[in-house]
A and B are shown apart, each in its own frame.
Chain A
């Protein structure tokens, strides 16, 4: 197997991390919706933390993308 093919396979394998990220983001927003549904007055408080949690989880997805780029181009 030459290096080019191995790079493409490696970059594809790095995308498996996105499964965990998808579950994580779904978790955050499902809990956010459920908690707003239970207590609509808490929306202001939980919304900010929900967005923070979403951005932190998305950062993990971008770490995986970064590794894929490093494998492909460096």
Chain B
């Protein structure tokens, strides 16, 4: 039977993503917008992520050895004109919260030998811990390197008693030897969807937020349903002229026009997706930071 399934559905194994209007009739396609101009690098999102998703705290030594487990990391960059000085070595840092981009054409999905990572109907890139054998091929092929491997059996050491009492019961604790990554707080999404289903409706905009979006004090992180054209995120994507299935993002001409208009209009198209040229079609849009020199 399973062989029949395989032979009759073989073409589904090589579905090309993203297709135009893939989510036209779908109820959900989760997406995100992160406004780098609003991000202050306070790390509240990272902390919230640790609390929500039972991320193990690995300790300083292992962190420095590159074995950290932060699904959401705040990256710091220094550009021209914002170089740190001797006196203030961290002055002028610009922040970029980086998590799994939930790519539509995810490089990790095609290479997983056991299909432990695959695409869900609502556009998430899911990770099935039970199926993962730990070949780490997904991480090797991830351009963003946002997949984190359980190098040790962290549950044994990360939450000494009574800290295990504060674990989120909705999220599994991962064992040694499996890969994990940001899930867009899939446990919250599932709960919201199931609640909406009992009330015979779809999830309303703002009804469900990821932990990072909820915790962000400056509301830099926006989360919502792209399949719903009236949602905040969908409107932001539209305003930034980012289309999920479009490559390349034809923004440059528009941007030049906008920048001329921007002298009297504040709204500039500044949305981009990280490493767009690899055609991974990420579900996260970043809004470029406007530097003080430009304003």
Asked if A and B bind, the verdict is no
